[in-house]
Amino acid sequence: MHPITADKLAAQKCVPCEGGVDQLTPEQANEYRQAVTSWELDQNATLIYRKVNCKSFVRAIEMINRITEVAEREQHHPDLHLTGYRHLKIVLTTHAIGGLSENDFILAAQIDRIIAPTDS
Ligand SMILES: C[C@H](O)[C@H](O)[C@H]1CNC2=NC(N)=NC(=O)C2=N1
């Protein structure tokens, strides 16, 4: 049983962060990651990413626009890489602390809600 769930994360709000909070440890990051299984953790547990192969360039841009709304609402912003015209990589890390915070997992769970299976 994992106490951290995608539903709980998606219902939370990102906390304004300009530093002063500890990065999640790799162990903590793993626990959070298990709640958002479409995301992967990098080797050093400093970021998470999700790749989406969109159906077209326009669909990819539409997805970016939906992500923009979520990110602005939460005031937590992903790095977005659109390459090969329709392959989107969404990267989340907390720049202010140079690693992962709960905010990254809150945003990941919220982004999952606006990506439909038919998007890719
Ligand atoms: C006050 C406000 O929460 C901060 O400036 C935010 C803005 N968005 C951010 N987004 C990300 N990914 N990392 C940050 O450290 C960050 N800082």
pLDDT at 119: 82
**What's the whole-number average pLDDT of the chain?**
96
Residue nearest to atom 9 of ligand 1 (CA): 76
Residue 48, burial from CB neighbour count under 10 angstroms (0-12, 13-18, 19+): buried
Report whether residue 50 contacts ligand 1, using a CB cutoff of 6 Å.
no
**Helix (H) or strand (E) segment spanning residue 48:** strand 48-53
Structure tokens given for 59: 């669909």
Per-residue pLDDT averaged across 37-46, rounded?
97
pLDDT at 2: 62
Taking 3-state DSSP, the helix, strand and coil percentages for the chain, each rounded to the nearest 5, stand at 40, 20, 40
Ligand 1 atom having least distance to the Cα of 14: 3
**Helix (H) or strand (E) segment spanning residue 64:** helix 57-74
Question: Whole-angstrom Cα distance, residue 111 to residue 100?
Answer: 16
Per-residue pLDDT averaged across 59-87, rounded?
98
Cβ-Cβ contacts under 8 Å for 80 (sequence gap 6 or more) = 64, 67, 88, 89, 90, 91
pLDDT interval class at 1 (50, 70, 90): low
Question: Whole-angstrom Cα distance, residue 13 to residue 106?
Answer: 7
The yes/no answer on whether domain 29-115 falls in CATH 3.30.1360.20 is yes
Report whether residue 75 contacts ligand 1, using a CB cutoff of 6 Å.
yes
pLDDT at 52: 97
